[in-house]
Amino acid sequence: MAKDDLREYSAKRTFTATPEPGPELAKDRAGPLLFVVQQHAATRLHYDFRLECDGVLMSWAVPKGPSLDRAEKRLAVRTENHPYGYAAFEGIIPKGQYGAGEVIVWDCGVYSPDEDAKGKKGHWYHDREEAERLIREGMAKGKLSITLRGEKLKGSFALVKTKEDKAWLMIKHQDRFVTDEDVTEKNRSVITGIAVPELKVVSPQRIPASRLVPTGPIVAMPKIEPMLAETGEKVFNKADWMWEPKLDGYRVLAFIEESGVRLRSRRGIDYAEKFPKLAAELAKQAVNGMVLDGEVVAFDASGRPSFGAMQDADANTPVVFCAFDLLYFEGVDLRKSTYRDRRRYLAQCLLPSPLVQLVHAADDGVALNTAAMASGFEGVMGKRKDSTYEAGKRSSSWIKVKPTQTADFVIGGYTKGKGSRSGFGSLLLGYWKGRKFHFASHVGSGFDEKTLKKVRALLDPLARKTRPFEEEPELNGEAVWVEPKLVAEVNFQNWTDDGALRAPVFLRLRDDVDAKKVTRVETRTATAPEAAAGGDPTIAAVLAQLEAKKTALSLVVGKQVVKLTNLDRVYWPADPSVDQPALTKRDLIRYFAQVSPYILTHLADRPLTMIRMPDGIKGQRFFQKHWEQERPEFVDTITVYSGSKDESQEYLVCNNLPTLLWLAQSGTLEFHIWHSRSKPGPDSVTKDTNFAESEASMDASILNYPDYVVFDLDPYIYSGKEGKGEEPELNTVAFEKGKEVAFWLRELLQGMSLNPIVKTSGKTGLHVFVPIRRTIDFDAARHVSELVGRHLMRGHPKDITLEWSIPKRTGKIFMDYNMNVRGKTLNVAYSPRGAPGAPVSMPLTWEELATAHPLDFRMTNAAERLAETGDRWQDALTIKQSLERALKGGK
């Protein structure tokens, strides 16, 4: 097949109107060939099957989608070739464009022809040139036999041309991957996890097509040492971490070559001879070169992974290789790829069988840990998604979390037993630091008579006359020194201040660990949602009380008590479109406790307006400025004069944790605040705090001087699903246009020597703020916002409006400068919104905004994000800009 110049592809598309990639041929590609299946909701939902060859993607439309059922023959209609970059395309093709509709990457992976013209079986993942020659040959003959290695599609398939022009049949060949289950029921993207209907509200973050499958220069299979994990104390959920169950077996690197299989342990021992059935099974991976990282596991009588069963295993013991990483595939060294990508490559390239399995991985580490403990695993492993493979090193990018703290130590001697105790009294443990062997602790607990005899028998041949430790250990009996060659795993509480182990207990010997590589392993405190509280014991106590199953309780918050009721009342119903579980009042109160160190900073001393939804987002909601009911003594208030009503009115001020949680108990889902504070400071032009007497007193008071100039960007770009008179709903097109305007605004403000900050509204809009010293009043701030808005509108009249008429706003971004009027409010940073998905108003860096979507930041992940990043706005809000000086400089 000659190279296609993609003219047909180009002729059908207007690239200024569609987000699809342009017609570029792939050049200098190395590594296995790629296949991709894209689910495409055009006029009808169908599947586009594409095979890379000669720099393009040969394409077929498969109306019913691929099938793993041997009896099914699926129609596949040949369509125009697509550019290689199209393989990673996910998004919406606009109306009026060819193929208009939503597209996701339903499956992708590597593929190879699996027979030549004479019917000889084989695979050519490692030889791109020969693979492409066989593909061209098969296409010319109208019959192509290929093996797919994807996450959903695995095994051999045939593409057979029929007599009808462009009509082919896609048929599954008989192999172990045949099943009558409908594989198309798995309806989510293998790249982003998004389903087609969700594209209307979620903007996928695309990756280059070059990252879809193993790609890179072809090199010889390298020698590799395993990467090791540090120890963590707690499991946590964070967007940039993934979790696996920790398996209780032998850590092994499987080197699979055409010449055979090596199963190399951490000590360099080859277990292939010990487990010949496993080696033979791995040889069926149908590759010329592959390196897997994993664990060889044996099972006890109850079917649970058991290290004891592993140590007793022989050639007849059924053991399983559980793969959790792919380090090399058909000439491509993957150690520099991120764990996120390697995990995808592993799911694609591994051909599982009863003896070779893919280790499960999940983003929800807390839930996985619970399941792992219930299933008898020894803990979980956390791995940073963006980490590379640090061969031979112990890295903080991987952490292991167990119910108890354990570590490996080298035995350097023992004390003689006393009384009836045979074997020895306690082991003397140490670790290496450089070339020096340091003493760590005694361990005398955890032994039975059988273990005492077994360990003593292994120690006797290692006896030596001199002490191996650098230090002179404090002994509780006569010592016998031994060569430091035997490794013991020990359970302990923690390290003491003087460098010893607290409450050590012997667990087992580790014959799979090289004694010379045992160093001191420090415990690492993992960032948990509670860490968003800054380690505050009051918040930790609140979170602990909320774990109780009671639906009503008296919550102790420091010295205060908040009475909670109906804790299981659902405030946000489950929303499958964004994978959101039902969220209750308990979840809301827990969230506010976790983020309280941050949200209280932004709420402090500001008159508060509440949006209350006591029956949840589907029930009644009301806007409440003043609290006339009874309130607890710990709730602060402020009295403010209202010119419109010619009277003084009392506002709540949320200045402490009990108030925040009490308001959540009262059904306050959204917190809206003034742009000014009631307490003067070094930056304020006035110290006057008389807010209640008259309009004149309000004008002279500190409440008339805002902390920032506000630019409220409100998209009036409709999705088409709104009812008559309804505001525009959240939609990707509107939000993307809002981001574009926000960046224009930033450029303009920076030209005035002003540094704006930005947050999502939690819905469709964006809030841009310029922090200022409290030296100009609200009228001046409003005037500045209007002047800047009108200047920006003159440069972009088709995109921006300041019109008050709603029909005139349609299709544009409305810049509401009247948000700078005294008494106007916006939702505070980190406030949830009463909308599906439980979105949160989230401060961002400008770099983060470029790829952000409002539903990226929700009650279910905001606390973890804060634990990692801290408050994005603290510096910006404390380092005030002098707007007056900037304006004068511009005249």
Distance CA 329, CA 221 (A): 9
Share of the chain above pLDDT 70, in %: 93
pLDDT tier for residue 313 given thresholds of 50, 70 and 90: confident
pLDDT at 528: 40
Q: When comparing pLDDT for 530 and 224, which is higher?
A: 224
Told to judge if 687 belongs to the known catalytic residues of this protein, a careful annotator would answer no
Q: What is the CATH number of domain 405-524?
A: 2.40.50.140
Domain ranges of the chain: 7-211, 228-401, 405-524, 532-884
The residue length of the chain stands at: 891
- For the cut 90, the answer to whether the pLDDT of residue 794 exceeds it is yes
pLDDT at 534: 44
Look at residues 451, 300, 447, 275 and name the one whose alpha carbon lies nearest to residue 378.
300
pLDDT tier for residue 535 given thresholds of 50, 70 and 90: very low
pLDDT at 537: 64
SS3 annotation, 85-131 = HHHHCCEEECCCCCCCEEEEEEEEEEEEECECCCCCECCCCCCHHHH
DSSP letter at 284? Answer: G
- Residue 142: CA count within 13 A, CB half-sphere: 10
Look at residues 553, 551, 555 and name the one whose alpha carbon lies nearest to residue 568.
551
Distance CA 827, CA 505 (A): 53
> Among positive and negative, which fits the CA dihedral 284, 286, 288, 289?
negative
Q: What share of the chain is helix, strand, coil (3-state, %, to 5)?
A: 25, 30, 45
Looking at residues 278-287, what average pLDDT do you find? 94
pTM greater than the 0.85 cutoff:
no
pLDDT at 731: 81
Looking at residues 804-832, what average pLDDT do you find? 93
Share of the chain above pLDDT 90, in %: 63
Q: What is the mean pLDDT of the chain?
A: 88
Distance CA 71, CA 67 (A): 9
pLDDT tier for residue 381 given thresholds of 50, 70 and 90: very high
Look at residues 239, 199, 186, 242 and name the one whose alpha carbon lies nearest to residue 89.
199
The token pair at 638 is: 């402020």
pLDDT at 874: 53
Other beta carbons less than 10 A from residue 454's beta carbon: 14
Decide if 228-401 and 405-524 have a common fold: no
**Residue type for 510, please?**
R
pLDDT tier for residue 719 given thresholds of 50, 70 and 90: confident
Q: Where are the beta strands (DSSP E) in 345-458?
A: 356-358, 379-384, 394-401, 405-415, 426-433, 436-443
Q: Which helix or strand (DSSP H or E) is residue 488 part of? A: strand 479-492
Looking at residues 98-114, what average pLDDT do you find? 96
Distance CA 427, CA 436 (A): 19
- Residue position matching structure tokens 């607290």: 502
Active-site pick, 172, 238, 246, 400: 246
Lowest mean pLDDT: which of 122-136, 271-285, 383-397, 860-874? 860-874
Contact 38, 47 (CB under 8 A): yes
Domain 532-884: what homologous superfamily?
A: DNA primase, PRIM domain (3.90.920.10)
Look at residues 207, 235, 227, 154 and name the one whose alpha carbon lies nearest to residue 340.
207
Other beta carbons less than 10 A from residue 558's beta carbon: 15
Contact 15, 86 (CB under 8 A): no
**pLDDT tens-digit series, residues 38-60:** 999 999 999 999 999 999 999 99
The token pair at 28 is: 């200098």
Lowest mean pLDDT: which of 219-223, 528-532, 726-730? 528-532
Distance CA 463, CA 444 (A): 19
**pLDDT tens-digit series, residues 605-619:** 999 999 999 999 999
By three-state DSSP, how is residue 326 classified? strand
Distance CA 375, CA 373 (A): 5
Pairing type for strands 228-232 and 394-401 reads parallel
Distance CA 568, CA 287 (A): 53
Lowest mean pLDDT: which of 177-191, 241-255, 586-600, 853-867? 853-867
315 Cβ neighbours under 8 A, 6+ residues apart: 274, 275, 276, 277
Looking at residues 159-173, what average pLDDT do you find? 95
Contact 435, 264 (CB under 8 A): no
- Out of 437-451, 474-488, 660-674, 852-866, give the one with best mean pLDDT: 660-674
Q: What is the CATH number of domain 228-401?
A: 3.30.470.30
The token pair at 653 is: 């001020």
Looking at residues 136-161, what average pLDDT do you find? 96
Look at residues 819, 865, 820 and name the one whose alpha carbon lies nearest to residue 845.
865
Contact 712, 763 (CB under 8 A): no
**pLDDT tens-digit series, residues 11-32:** 999 999 999 999 998 888 999 9
Q: Where are the beta strands (DSSP E) in 17-72?
A: 33-41, 45-53, 56-62
Distance CA 239, CA 469 (A): 44
Pairing type for strands 843-844 and 757-760 reads antiparallel
The token pair at 880 is: 């005030």
Residues paired with 380 in a beta bridge = 245, 401
Which ranges in 22-77 belong to alpha helices (H)? Answer: none
